[in-house]
Amino acid sequence: MPTADDRELFDEVRELLAATVEDVSVEEVALDCDLKDDLGVDSLALLELVAAIEDRWQVQVPMDEAARLSTVREIVDHLSSVVPAPAGGAA
């Protein structure tokens, strides 16, 4: 079951995909969408998406890892493992 943080990551990934990939709208991005088959993400669009992810979350995504991310769920799972969770009020 996705946590609230995962849901937030998913929503942000959807928006990034829609902003980065031509002819993709937020509404058509589902958690189980295949990047290539369902959303038409080619190798160039994947590079742009990875750059946008790195910029948005200030993380590095090595190209060998990026090449293994084939679904929206895999991107969200990857981000949830590398992006620090928001601190619950702790400074």
Q: Could you give the C-alpha distances from 61 to 51, 53, 66, in angstroms and in order?
A: 8, 8, 6
- Domain ranges in the chain? 4-82
| pLDDT at site 87 | 52
Express each pLDDT in 24-76 by its tens digit: 999 999 999 999 999 999 999 999 999 999 999 999 999 899 999 999 999 99
Do residues 35 and 69 make contact, with C-beta atoms less than 8 angstroms apart?
yes
Burial of 18 from C-beta contacts in 10 A (0-12 / 13-18 / 19+) = middle
What is this structure's pTM?
Answer: 0.85
Cα dihedral 78→83→87→88 (10° resolution) = -20
What is the rounded distance in angstroms from the CA atom of residue 85 to the CA atom of residue 87? Answer: 6
Q: Residue with structure tokens 């993709």? A: 24
Residue 90 has pLDDT above 60, yes or no: no
CATH 1.10.1200.10 for domain 4-82: yes
